[in-house]
Amino acid sequence: MEENTSTTAPSNFIRDIINGDLETNKYEGRVHTRFPPEPNGYLHIGHAKSICLNFGIARDYNGLCNLRFDDTNPAKEEVEYVESIEEDVKWLGFDWDDRMYYASDYFNQLYNFAIQLINEGKAYVDSSTADETKDMRGTTTESGKESPNRNRSTEENLRLFMGMKDGEFEDGAHILRAKIDMSSPNMHMRDPVMYRIKRATHHRTGDRWCIYPMYDYAHPISDWIEGITHSICTLEFEIHRPLYDWFLKELHLENRPQQIEFARLNLSYTVMSKRKLLELVQEGFVSGWDDPRMPTICGLRRRGYTPESIRSFAEKIGVAKRDGMIDVALLEHTIREDLNKRAPRVMAVLKPLKVVITNYPDGKIEELDAINNPEDSSMGKRILPFSKEVYIEQDDFREVPPKKFYRLYPGNEVRLRYAYIIKCNEVIKNAEGEVTEIHCTYDPETKSGTGSTRSVKGTIHWVSAEHAIKAEARLYDRFFVTEDPLADKEKDFKDLINPSSLEMLSNCQIEPSLANVKAGEKFQFERQGYFCVDPLSTEGKIIFNRTVPLRDSWAKIEKKQ
C-alpha cells in the first residue's frame, strides 16, 4: 500500500480506482477532485453526499478538492444561490482554501478551444431549426441523419461562429455542434450541441456573452483546466462519458481527468430535485428554502441537524454503482445518535395541563437537582424550581385510563421526575366538561435523590407553573404521504404532500433554565424528542423546532435484521 492510501473511511469502488491510479502513478500521485454545483437553487442532502465524497477523498489522500460553480446556464442562476452554497459547504465542515472557481471564468478559453475544433474540422455551425434538428436526431433504435450544414467549410464555420459570438444573429438561429457520428448508438455522440445563442444576463459576466457553452462541453474542459484527476458525478452521466473523453482527446489535452459515476442519493418520503424544491418554495407549500421540512442543507440545519450527523449519514450510506432508495429513518437515526451524546436534557411541557398539589405549602419553592445528560456526566447538573402548581402533559393524564396506562388518572400515583410521587384525587372541569385542572397530593417522603425507596410505575415530566416560560414548538411529520412521491409520473407530486406535516403548539411551558437560549441551540425535551431553537425566535417568543421524536424506528429495523 502507498503511504497516502491509508484512510479512516470505509473503502468503496471509487477509492479502489484511486488506489489503482496511485499504484500506476497515473497522475504523479496527485488526487484532485471538485464539487461542481450549478447555482440554480439551494443544496440538498443529495449534494451533501457528493460534498462528503469529494472533499472526503481529497482529505484522505492528501489531495485537493475545488469548489466550482457550474454556471453555464445564465437564465436560472443567481448570486443568492452562490452565497448559500458557500455557506452550506463550509457549515458541513469542508474547505476549498483559495480554490473557488466558476465555469464562467473559462468562457474565453472554451471559446478558443471551440475555434480550434472548428479549425480541425471537428465542430460546425448548424442553422437548422430546432424541429429539424430534433427530426434528424433519430431514435435509440434508428440512426440519425446528417444535417445539410454538416460539411460547411472551415471559413464559413468560423465566420458564423464568430458572428454568433458578436451578436449578429437571433437567439436560436444557429448552434455550434461537435462533428462526431450521427449513427452512433449513443445519442449523446450524435453531433451534440456545444454552444447556443442566448441573450440572457449572466450573474458574473453580465451581457458580455450572448453565446453560452453546454454542460457536456464545458465540464471536461473546466476539469482539465483545474487539474482535476477524478471527476466524480452521478450515474445519469455515465452515458455522457464517451463525450467527456472525446472533447479532451480531440483537443489533444494531456493529463486528462477521468469521470467516475456513482449512484445519487434518493431518500424515502423526500423529493430532491432542485427544480421540484423550487416549485415548493415558489408556490408557497413551504415557508422557504430553509423550511425545516425541506431536505435542503439549510432546512436540515434549521431543523436541528448537525454537520457531524450529516457527515456520518454520508459515510453510513456509502457509495454504490446502482441507484437505490435510502430509508429516511436512517437519517433520523443518525441525528439521534449524535444528539443523544451532546444535547442537554430539559423538561418542557408541550400541551400543558395544570396540577395543583393541595398539600404542598403555599409559597414554598424547592430547588431540585436535575442531571443534564445521563450519557455524559461532565455536562453536570442544573437546578429546577418546584412549587405548589406545576404543568404536566395533557397526554399524561386520562380520566378513564386505557390498559397499561401507568401515568396519571384518578386514584393513581406517578413520580414527577426529579421531584415527588403525587396522587390524583380530583379532576376539575369547565362548563363544557373539559378537564382544566387536576388536584393531587404529594408524598413528602419520596423526594428524589434522598434515598426514598418507594417506587411507582410511571415517571412524567413537568414544569413549575410559576417559573415556566411560555414557548412555541413546531412538530414535523413526513412531508409526503408516500415513500416515493415521484413514482407515479401521472400524478403531481404536490398532491402527495402530507397535510399535517407541521403542527404548531404555541402554548408550551418550558423550564426556566431555557430563558436565554440562542438560535441553533439543541436540547432533548425529556420524553418528547430533540428540539432546536429557531432563528426566528425573539426575546419575547422562543420557537423550538422538533428535529426528531425520541422513538427510533431505524434502531428497531436494525434489531430485526
Binding mask 83-102 for ligand ATP (x = CB under 6 A): --------------------
Q: Which of residues 4-63 bind ligand ATP (CB under 6 A)?
A: 36-38, 46-47, 49-50
Residues 6+ apart with CB under 8 A from 492: none
Q: Please, which residue, 38 or 132, has the CB nearer to Mg ion?
A: 38
Q: Which does 46 bind (CB under 5 to 8 A by kind): ligand ATP, Mg ion, none?
A: ligand ATP
From 110, 265, 343, 542, residue interacting with ligand ATP (rule: CB under 6 A): 265
Interface with ligand ATP, residue 272, by CB under 6 A? yes
Q: Shortest Cβ distance from residue 47 to ligand ATP (Å)?
A: 5
Residue 39 C-alpha cell reads as 447555482
Please tell me which residue in 26, 38, 76, 466 is annotated as part of the active site. Answer: 38
The residue among 228 and 384 lying less far from ligand ATP, judged by its C-beta, is: 228
Which residues in the 303-342 window bind ligand ATP by CB under 6 A? none
The Cα 113–Cα 122 span in angstroms is 11
The one-letter code for the residue type at 526 is E
Per-residue burial over 525-539, b = 16 or more CB atoms within 10 Å of its CB, e = otherwise:
bbbbbbbbbbeebee
Q: How far are the Cα atoms of 214, 351, 353, 474, 539 from residue 507, in angstroms, in the given order?
A: 54, 7, 11, 11, 16
Contact set with Mg ion (CB under 5 A)? 38
Contact criterion met (CB below 8 Å) for 299 and 290: yes
When CB distances are held under 5 to 8 angstroms depending on the partner's kind, the choice from ligand ATP, Mg ion, none that residue 264 binds is: ligand ATP
Residue closest to ligand ATP (Cβ):
46
Q: What does 348 bind: Mg ion, ligand ATP, none (CB cut-off 5 to 8 Å by kind)?
A: none
CA neighbours within 13 Å on the CB side: how many for 252? 4
Per-residue cell: 61: 489522500
- Collapsing DSSP to helix, strand or coil, 333 comes out as helix
- Residue 108 partner contact from Mg ion, ligand ATP, none using kind-dependent CB cut-offs of 5 to 8 Å: none
Nearest to 37 by CA among 80, 75, 86: 86
Other beta carbons within 10 Å of 283: 9
Cβ-based neighbours of 146, under 8 Å, separated by 6 or more: 136, 182, 191
Restricting to residues 171-190, name those near ligand ATP by CB under 6 A: none
Contact indicator for 438, 426 with CB cutoff of 8 Å: yes
Among 89, 6, 29, CA closest to 55: 89
Q: Which of 4, 12, 143, 234 binds ligand ATP (CB under 6 A)?
A: 234
Nearest residue (CB) to ligand ATP, 50 versus 528: 50
**Minimum CB–partner distance for residue 532 and ligand ATP (Å):** 24
**DSSP strand E in 316-365: where?**
345-346, 348-349, 352-357
Residue 303 touches which of ligand ATP, Mg ion, none (CB < 5 to 8 A by kind)? none
Q: Give the residue with the Cβ less far from ligand ATP, 157 or 296.
A: 296
Q: Which is nearer to ligand ATP, 321 or 470 (CB)?
A: 321
Q: Residue 398 interacts with ligand ATP (CB under 6 A)?
A: no
Closest contact distance (angstroms) between CB of 53 and Mg ion is: 17
Stretch that binds ligand ATP, among 124-132, 264-272, 333-341, 361-369 (CB under 6 A): 264-272
273 interacts with ligand ATP by CB under 6 A:
yes
Options 49, 177, 190, 274, the catalytic residue: 274
What is the C-alpha separation between 43 and 49, in angstroms, rounded? 11
To the nearest whole angstrom, how small is the minimum distance from the Cβ of residue 338 to ligand ATP? Answer: 21
Q: Which does 556 bind (CB under 5 to 8 A by kind): Mg ion, ligand ATP, none?
A: none
Catalytic position from the list 150, 198, 264, 382: 264
Please give the Cα distance from 251 to 249 (Å, whole number). 5
Instruction: Supply the DSSP symbol for 379.
Output: G
Grouping H, G, I as helix, E, B as strand and the rest as coil, residue 376 is: coil
Q: Under the criterion CB under 6 A, does residue 500 sit at the interface with ligand ATP?
A: no
Q: Does 279 bind ligand ATP (CB under 6 A)?
A: no
Nearer to ligand ATP by Cβ, of 39 and 292: the residue is 39
Is the Cβ of residue 77 or residue 291 nearer to Mg ion in the bound state?
Answer: 77
Give least dist CB 427 to ligand ATP, A. 53
Among the listed ranges 266-274, 289-297, 352-360, 518-526, the one in contact with ligand ATP (CB under 6 A) is: 266-274
What string of DSSP letters covers 195-251?
EEE----BTTTBTS-SEEE-HHHHHHHHHHHTT-SEEEEEGGGGGGHHHHHHHHHHT
Q: How far is residue 223's CA from residue 244's CA, in Å, rounded to a whole number? A: 10
Cell readout for 237 is 452521466
Q: Is 26 a catalytic residue?
A: no
Using DSSP's 3-state secondary structure scheme, residue 427 falls into strand
The yes-or-no answer on residue 38 being catalytic is yes
70 or 413: whose CB is closer to ligand ATP?
A: 70
Specify the residue, 265 or 473, whose C-beta has the smaller distance to ligand ATP.
265
Active site residue 454: no
List active site positions. 38, 264, 274
Residues in touch with ligand ATP (CB under 6 A): 36-38, 46-47, 49-50, 233-234, 264-265, 272-275
